[in-house]
């Protein structure tokens, strides 16, 4: 036997974990919006058609309500929410203007490709007060995007259509590869939605926006396929510690 033998067990090498990049991005955006004066509200991921569609002025004939687009549960009595907008409805029913809410979490749609997932994350916000204008909305969007990407980022507003906002727009950012990628939708709250929440649309107006967290993370980190975030590839995820 040698004069000296180390019989202690070998050291265990443990990798320290970290937040998933999507959770980190969501938390960063929520913290930013809180600093702007927004209050966090929350709601269920399993919703009713009333809150997910009807209260948001989405008609029975709208294609988003069809089985090929929405995940229905319990014999179509309920569904997996397709956006976080129902949380804003619940908030407006509980409180009176002026109000400024944000909500963030998982949403579900039947999409799956390099820039879409059947489950993804949104952060939505709504601000309702007297004399809210589209100019205020644009100013807020610029502040959000400049805070996330810096003032050198190229962005564009495109006219769009959403049943719950009028006028409506989508906002794209130019990626490093020279491609435009949509990261949010926005607009002035449709007066019908305000009236559905017992808010006088002759006195109050509002702005609303919804940010796609995965899309923003793709642009921030130069990821070209959204599905990479959910493959449980530790070599990929360890880059974001």
Give the CATH number for residue 83: 3.30.930.10
pTM: 0.86
**Is residue 47 one of the residues assigned to a domain?**
yes
User: 74 or 120, which is more confident?
Assistant: 120
Contact 176, 166 (CB under 8 A): no
**Is residue 173 one of the residues assigned to a domain?**
yes
Q: Is 70 exceeded by the pLDDT of residue 30?
A: yes
E strands in 140-232: 155-162, 165-174, 180-189, 205-212
Q: Could you give the CA distance from residue 170 to residue 31 in angstroms, rounded to a whole number?
A: 23
Dump pLDDT digits (tens) for 119-131.
999 999 999 999 9
Contact 164, 188 (CB under 8 A): no
Q: What is the per-residue pLDDT for 12?
A: 77
For residue 108, which of 100, 116, 96, 98 has the smallest C-alpha distance? 116
The domain in which residue 68 lies consists of 21-236
What is the b/e burial string over 29-68, where b = at least 16 CB atoms within 10 angstroms of the residue's CB? Answer: bbebbeeeebeebebeeebebebbbebbbbeeeeeebeee
**Is residue 57 one of the residues assigned to a domain?**
yes
**Is residue 11 one of the residues assigned to a domain?**
no
**Is residue 118 one of the residues assigned to a domain?**
yes
Q: Is 90 exceeded by the pLDDT of residue 1?
A: no
**Is residue 170 one of the residues assigned to a domain?**
yes
**Is residue 61 one of the residues assigned to a domain?**
yes
Contact 92, 128 (CB under 8 A): yes
Q: Could you give the CA distance from residue 91 to residue 8 in angstroms, rounded to a whole number?
A: 60
* Number of structural domains the chain divides into: 1
**Is residue 100 one of the residues assigned to a domain?**
yes
For residue 149, which of 209, 212, 219, 224 has the smallest C-alpha distance? 219
């Amino acid at each position: 036997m040698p004069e000296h033998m180390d019989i202690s067990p070998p050291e265990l090498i443990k990798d320290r974990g970290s937040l998933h990049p999507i959770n980190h991005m969501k938390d960063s955006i929520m913290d930013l919006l809180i600093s702007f004066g927004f209050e966090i509200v929350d709601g269920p991921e399993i919703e009713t058609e009333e809150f997910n569609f009807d209260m948001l002025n989405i008609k029975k004939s709208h294609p988003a309500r069809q089985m090929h687009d929405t995940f229905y549960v319990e014999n179509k009595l309920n569904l997996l929410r397709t956006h976080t907008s129902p949380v804003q409805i619940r908030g407006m029913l509980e409180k009176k203007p002026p109000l400024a809410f944000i909500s963030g979490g998982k949403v579900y749609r039947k999409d799956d490709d390099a820039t879409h997932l059947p489950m993804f994350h949104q952060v939505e916000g709504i601000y309702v007060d007297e004399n809210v204008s589209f100019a205020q909305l644009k100013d807020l969007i610029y502040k959000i995007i400049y805070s996330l990407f810096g003032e050198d980022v190229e962005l564009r507003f495109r006219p769009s259509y959403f049943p719950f906002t009028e006028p409506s727009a989508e906002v794209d950012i130019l990626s490093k590869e020279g491609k435009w990628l949509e990261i949010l939708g926005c607009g002035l709250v449709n007066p019908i939605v305000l009236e559905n929440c017992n808010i006088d649309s002759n006195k109050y107006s509002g702005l609303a926006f919804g940010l796609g967290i995965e899309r923003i993370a793709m642009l921030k980190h130069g990821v070209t396929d959204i599905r990479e975030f959910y493959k449980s590839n530790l070599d990929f995820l360890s880059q974001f510690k």
